[in-house]
Amino acid sequence: MAHRVTLIPGDGIGPEVSAAVVRIIEAAGVAIEWDEHHAGVTAVEQTGSTLPQSLLDSVIANRVALKGPVTTPVGEGFTSVNVGLRKTLDLYANLRPVTNLPGVPSRYQDVDMVIVRENTEDLYSGMENEIVPGVVAGLKIITATASERIARFAFRHATENGRRKVTAIHKANIMKQADGLFLRSARTVAREFPDITYDEKIVDNACMQLVMRPEQYDVLLLPNLYGDIVSDLAAGLVGGLGVVPGANLGEQAAVFEAVHGSAPDIAGQDKANPTALLLSGLMLLRHIGERTAADVIFGALTRVMAAGTTITRDLGGSASTTQFTDAVVREIHAHRG
């Protein structure tokens, strides 16, 4: 029986990289019925809403979605579709594995960490208010319920995936109540997992340590804002946002997405690198039990990367999106016999 998965192509380069990933997954023999829906600018043009109810209903029914990049206006316009999806579907855990890929230039090798970011509160609650002209206040919301939930997710992920250490990142030396609550919650959960080493780092020191000795980190546990910043910093250690995957996970649904932008400047030019969305697609495949196919695709991807002859411009090559996709598909067919 075919899996039914919601597909949100996104805008900008989103439709191109989404089409490439769908083609690669199909080449690996996975039977998926893609239920396509639009969000953001494209959805506004079609339905008048950035996050149509039909899209939400599809994700709720299918319980899993693959999402391409969606443009978020800066400083004006509609609110983030990504944040809206996370809040509406209670996708409380943002999971970002960060590892090196062969052939991808980076400052470090043997990086292997996982960023676990709380996804529903903190300053991203969007509770902002102009007190008087020229003075704006934003509320940082931290709750024990959400903090313990994301900490338990991090420790369970570590346990189930052979990880050895969870590091909570905070600024409790300054924000003693908000970040202090986050830390107390993490410590409470840590006692339930005695086989996992637990430690803590202040966020500014953690960032310095990341760019000096990233190998010391395993699983990083962060509240929302720090997690957003640190996850992009960590991606820079292995080649950038174009080569790292992302997932937003909840009890009832999971949305796997590219974490880079929509790159409208190259949209429609067959130049985009689909690797980030493809890696997110592999996380999706493992989530729905298609681990063998995920391993086959990952092997094909790493062989194409290592060869270096058919890689996209952002990685120093000259291949188009189509040529890169063709190369991965050929590798899949060659090793599937």
pLDDT lower than 70: segments of the chain: 72-79, 337
Q: Start-end ranges of CATH 3.40.50 in the chain?
A: 107-223
* Strand intervals (E) in the chain: 3-8, 32-36, 64-67, 93-99, 112-118, 128-132, 135-138, 165-170, 197-202, 219-222, 245-249, 254-258
With beta carbons less than 8 A apart as the criterion, state whether 305 and 243 touch: no
pLDDT value at position 79? 61
- List the CATH code of the domain at 107-223: 3.40.50
Q: Are 275 and 311 in contact (CB under 8 A)?
A: no
User: 176 is written with which tokens?
Assistant: 């003693």
Residues 126-160 pLDDT 10s = 788 999 999 999 999 999 999 999 999 999 999 99
Query: What pLDDT does residue 51 have?
Result: 86
CB < 8 Å & 24+ apart, contacts of 300-308 = 300/24, 300/328, 300/329, 300/331, 300/332, 300/335, 301/101, 301/275, 301/328, 301/331, 302/101, 302/102, 303/331, 304/328, 304/331, 305/101, 305/102, 305/103, 305/104, 305/275, 306/102, 306/103, 307/103, 308/103
pLDDT of residue 126: 78
Residues designated as active site: 124, 171, 204, 228
In the three-class reduction of DSSP (H, G, I as helix; E, B as strand; rest coil), residue 80 is classed as coil
pLDDT tens digits, 241-284 = 999 999 999 999 999 999 898 888 999 999 999 999 999 999 99
> pLDDT value at position 42?
79
> What class does CATH assign to 1-101+238-337?
alpha beta
Task: Check residue 83 and give its pLDDT.
Answer: 80
